[in-house]
Structure 1
Amino acid sequence: MHAEEAFRKSEATLRLMVEQIPAIVWTTDTELRFTSCTGAGLTRLNLQPDQIVGMSLHDYYATQDEDFPGIASHRRACQGESVNFELEWCGHVFQSHAEPLRDAHGAVIGVVGVALDVTERKRAEEDLRRLNQTLEQQVDQRTKTLEAITTELRRSVQHSRLIVDMANEAFIGMDANGRIVDWNPAAEATFGWTRNEALGRALDQMIIPVRHRKTFHEGVREFFQTGESTLLNTRVEFSALHRDGQEFPVEMSATHILLGDEHSFNVFLHDIRERRESEQALRDSEALYSSLVEHLPVNILRKDLQGRFTFANRAFCELLDKPLEEIQGKTDMDFYPEELASKYQADDRRIIESGETFDDIERHKKGRKTLYVHVLKTPVHDAEGNIVGTQAIFWDVTDKQLAEEKMKRYSTELERSNRELEYFTTIVSHDLHAPLRAVGSYCELLEREYASKLDATAQEYLYFARQSVDRMHALIEDLRSVARVTTSGKPLKPVDCQEVLEAVLTNLTAEIEQSGAEVTHDVLPIVMADSTQLMQLLQNLVGNAIKYCKDGSPVIHVSADRDNGRWQIGVRDNGIGICTEDQKRIFEIFQRGHADEDEYSGTGVGLAVCKKIAERHGGRIWVESEPGQGSTFRFTVRGAK
């Protein structure tokens, strides 16, 4: 009789524990048909025990594959193995364990299994290994202790032990006197006490800080007086005590068990340090977000799917001249003219339906004044990615828009002016070249028809006249080159400087051979440039380096260096050099840097063209030089991405 009473109590205790723990416990026969199934975990699969009992594993898993983990593990268990396996099923991940189910004689009559839903949190493999090892030791110990009890009791105890020991949450069993009667491996890991150290000791002395012990005792006393307690059948958060004296937050869920006249309590505790840290991080993030949003000089608002305002920052509240409380729950129709409000609502519906971002500059009239507003609207998603509303950010860009429109007008006017300048320079060039050609022709005629009648002085005058004509022709073409920098420039695009330099050297082949010049260069970059103008710039600089070398052969080096995200191209020579006071003047039109201009030909336009080209490319040009020490001309240009 005592054994039967003990059996009933144990069975009731175990059944209550099984039904409260979020797990699934089942048994099968050797044909792999379910003979029982229970546990609160069934609700996560929307299943009832009577839907499963009698069904084969093959039908349940809808497969005949013997290697499928859910089937292979049971086959192994039928052969006497204890099997741990992980299974993904119905959108959940289960950590499962299968044991051979034996009769009183030790013969395998089926399989007993337990599965915990570890979708949200999986234990590490090493922790699982230690859990299984502890489980096996405790199962062996339980088996030896309960050998005299009936087969049904032994099966129930095994079910219970598996569930408790495999639980990720700390489980503590407590009797009516507050003494610990059970302590699972998760409790060992959570609180630092081994099972043997914990059993028999007062729960409050083990895990409850001194300042909370009075509340704990009052809760227990309240239960025994009234049958109810604020600590039971609910989730309670409090600070727990680790063996090392450190406190940490836990979430507790406790239930009462009454077997006969014996009271006991099952307590599950979950370490929520990570959750608290995440919550604090979220609060900090929200505070930072709120601070940023409230102080940004733009209007920010949010609406739900029905177009009702759920949030507005300070700038938007000031725009409407209303506090947030009077804006929340209202719609655009409450604040704007009907036509404008309808437009906003149509925009919101389009964003919600398409999930796309709306980015536009809207034009509004305010009295006689035209306002431009940059509007950026985006869908708002919840944690699952569902669209739950819209968010709008808008700000006044009237000044910017008017400036851009003014810039467009200036650009159009500049293009027109450039066309007129091109036309003008073409006409002027033609009109100037014509009389010069006539003068040149008469000079040739005089030289050919009257050379014998001209004395040395007249011959010299005639020579000077021809030289002046040639120089005027060159000057006219140079002036056209200056104009063409702005009127005939091509769009900037990636250009290989090395290829441009090779073309320049080809163009200057005669000058290089005649002077014996030596030209070297670094590895040159790819830059954003007008290739024709870049060639003109480099050809002017290299040509000058060849021209202005008084003694010996020219030695020229073209370099390339990084300069704050741009490229600095340099042309270094061993020429006559330039004095400091001339180094800025030489880039102005018709200015030359050498007193003896007759010794070196030129119009004083070439470096002015170089300056205009460098400036058109968004860069600058300068020279580093000392008289007699050579010169280095440098210009900057944007690199190609």
Structure 2
Amino acid sequence: MSEHRPPFHPQNGSGIGHFRDTLKPSAPRTFLFLFALALVALISVVALLSIRRFIEAAEQRSRAYSLIVTVGMIEASLLRAEAEERGFVSTQSRACLENHERALRQVDESLRSLRHLVADDPRYATRAVAIEAIVHEKKALMEQVVSLRETEGFEAAARGVATGRSLELSSRFHEIIREMEWIGHQDRELFHERVSRFGRRAWALVVIGTPLSIILLGGAFLWLNQETRQRELALRSLQESEERFRSTFEQAAVGVAHVDPEGRFLRVNGKYCEIAGYSSEELRTKRFQDITHPEDLDTDLEFVRQLLAGERTTYSMEKRYIRKDGNPVWVNLTVSLVREPSGGPRYFIAMVEDITPRKKAAEALRAKSEDLGRSNAELEQFAYVASHDLQEPLRTVTSFVQLLGQRYQGALGAEADEFIHFIVEGVDRMKRLINDLLSYSRVRTRGQPHQAVDCEAVLGAALISLTTAIEESGAVVTSDPLPTVWGDDSQIQALLENLIGNALKFRSKETPRVHVSATRKGDLWDFSVRDNGIGIESQYFNRIFLIFQRLHTREEYPGTGIGLAICHKIVENHGGRIWLESKPGEGSVFHFLLPAPRSSATGAVQEPGLTTSPQEGLGQRS
């Protein structure tokens, strides 16, 4: 099998290889090589000069043709103007006058073109000046006739038309045209002569330059072949990159658009069309200003101005588009600017995400929160007013029942005495309920400004208030060292009183033991109140923090069912949360979070910045 060699391989003895073999370091071959180079250079110079002269001759011929055409247009427009002038003289039609004026404007435009064409050729320039003078005089004659028709009537205008001056001017105009045509004829003959001469030179160049061109083209072929392969590889890589970009652009989960500096859409993907409610073709006929909600446009344009001025590299904003169906759509918009290598703006890249569902949900949540806030405020106000207004009649009932019992005890019989006892007991329970309702409503409406609170001192005050209950139950209340927190000292005292009192109330048969402690968790303190009481089943953990919710009868454990609801409200007011750990028969642990005060560099106590959401897990077990 014979060895395959690529074309123009040095070992082939032809092409570039043969050319290299002949270039050995000898004087004759060096001379031939230099001669070939000189010949190629000479041929190139001669060819360049010939081509340039050919182009000049062709341009001269083209200009002569354009001159004749332009002069012909001037003549045609003048004839049309004269015809419309005569029509106006005959009928005084405004349409004829307008057509007359339009034809004169076309004459002026053609004169401007004529001046431009003859600027470099004095042969035509002098004749163009004569043509322009004739045109101005004919225009003056026509304006005079029109004026006579408007002011003196048909007869005067007809006499103006009948003068022979216009015909004289037309005759002179035609003479000038013939002169220009004769000059053009001479130019054409000169053009044909030059073309013939240039053709002979070109033939000589072909005969002489072909062998040299073959040799040179061989080398050029190798270079071009290599260059072509490199370009094909680069093109393939570019096509793959463009395909990846196109796929990413079209399949992006967000809307993407390219927008020119004036705001016109250049390119949009399907998601953008879906969000805006327009097709790709419709958007390319619009600007982003056309579909932006008027209330958001000024802000958007200010950001665009800052991008163009180089004051920022990107911006994001929430705005509204007006869809094709007229409905607004909320989007989160992020825009960056692509610049030219020179630094000028090329186009914007805009990415939009439809946030309408999120906005609607937020608006619905806000409306519900406002409704809930109003309802809670009204409920708290009602509870406060109702409980306050009930105090007076309740005191009256209590006074009269006590007076009745004192005066008629034993006189009305044992059954009547029992009824009086029931009334007094019910009135006492009602008083406790009213007082608890007042306490519950005051938690939110009468809170003090938050400050640093020493929980050791607050616990001491709470235990003093619970002295009677502690002594009667024989309870043992202990505590670890307690921290300073940020809050309302009176509410925190009420919180501890309720939780410790709750532990004393729901005690088991053993000696009640209550322990209060606190652990630091970031910017919060985790308090716990632990007891050895009867415990609670897990299914009731959330229920016990609701107002008026009781798990036992009043005969078993007295109370109004408001105490733990007050605790929940107090912790909520402090931006914390409260929850419970318990098992029946094993006691309970109530946890609640309170914010720790933040110390400055000088040691001063400052208001904390909470890291836990105030609503997170309120009333839930951790």
TM-score, length of structure 1 as denominator length: 0.43
Q: Using CA pairs below 8 Å that are at least 6 residues apart, which structure has the higher relative contact order?
A: 2
Greater radius of gyration (CA): 2
TM-score, length of structure 2 as denominator length: 0.44
Q: Quick check: which one's strand share is greater?
A: 1
